[in-house]
């Protein structure tokens, strides 16, 4: 599993894009009129948004409280220190938990049985392999300190014990959150807009909000334009040094 994890770690960014693209693959519906009535589209929208926003909230809290440098070097796991503060005090892999919830949520939002039943288990397998590879690296680098951390904190399931104290004891760095997360947020929000408003044959909704394909496309263009504008503004401010953490 460690060798598999090292392989997937090297290509993890491309894998994420692949899984995002799979949202638009034609599929049977999770929720259908036969199972939950004529307004069945409400369930995937409400449930999907709740799950995916929870994932983004976990990522945001993690980055804003105690960011961990584990981006890898030369396609291999890397860490310049063992971070156990912030959300890492409650879960060893909160960023990955956030990613899983974000993808699961948009899979539900897409009302895709294929995505939830096939793509998500595959994604979990890949992430488990990546985490095992990272843990092998961290154990070799930090030794007993990492083993002690593993005994105290769950790998996947976040513990809520002491979470309130953690949040009160640390200052949330919202600028770091935006700087580190703006690309992820842009892609994530763009995907949500496409799922809700794009008149694509792969999607399993009626035109639930706009009432017509013309109105849906108009709303879609407006949202995509606004998101793109904000994203480009942040990029410019970051590159010119006028917005720093």
**What are the structural domains, with CATH classification, of the chain?**
2-171 (1.20.120)
* Per-residue confidence (pLDDT) for residue 80, from 0 to 100: 75
What pLDDT is attached to residue 39?
63
Global pTM value: 0.88
Residues in the chain: 245
CB atoms within 10 A of CB 102: 25
The pLDDT of residue 122: 95
Angle at 112 between CA 51 and CA 52, to 5 degrees: 15
Q: Of 29, 44, 151, 172, nearest to 108 (Cα)?
A: 44
pLDDT of residue 69: 61
| Residue-level pLDDT at 210 | 43
* CA gap 158, 94 in Å, rounded: 8
pLDDT at position 205 is 56
DSSP string computed for 99-147: HHHHHHHHHHHTTBHHIIIIIHHHHHHHHHHHHHHHHHHHHHHHTHHHH
Closest CA to 127 of 152, 154, 98: 98
pLDDT at position 211 is: 46
Give the mean pLDDT per block of 10 residues along the chain (245 residues). 83 82 86 67 88 96 79 65 89 95 94 93 95 92 92 94 90 91 92 82 52 72 95 94 83
Is there a contact between 231 and 218 (Cβ–Cβ < 8 Å)? no
């Amino acid at each position: 599993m460690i060798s598999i994890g090292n392989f997937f770690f090297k290509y993890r960014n491309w894998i994420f894009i692949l899984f995002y693209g799979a949202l638009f693959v034609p599929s049977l519906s999770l929720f259908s009129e036969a199972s939950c009535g004529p307004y069945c589209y409400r369930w995937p929208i409400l449930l999907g948004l709740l799950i995916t926003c929870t994932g983004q909230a976990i990522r945001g809290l993690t980055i804003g409280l105690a960011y961990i440098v584990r981006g890898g070097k030369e396609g291999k796991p890397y860490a310049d220190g063992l971070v156990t503060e912030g959300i890492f005090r409650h879960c060893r892999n909160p960023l990955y938990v956030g990613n899983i919830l974000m993808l699961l949520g948009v899979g539900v939002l897409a009302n895709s049985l294929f995505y939830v039943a096939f793509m998500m288990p595959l994604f979990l397998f890949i992430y488990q392999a990546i985490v095992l590879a990272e843990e092998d690296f961290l154990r070799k680098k930090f030794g007993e300190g990492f083993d002690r951390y593993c005994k105290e904190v769950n790998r996947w399931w976040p513990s809520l014990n002491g979470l309130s104290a953690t949040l009160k004891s640390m200052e949330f760095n919202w600028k770091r959150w935006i700087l580190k997360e703006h690309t992820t947020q842009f892609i994530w929000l763009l995907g949500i807009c496409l799922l809700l408003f794009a008149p694509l044959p792969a999607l399993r909704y009626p035109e639930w909000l706009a009432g017509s394909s013309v109105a849906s496309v108009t709303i879609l263009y407006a949202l995509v334009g606004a998101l793109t504008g904000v994203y480009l503004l942040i990029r410019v401010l970051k590159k010119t040094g006028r917005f720093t953490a």
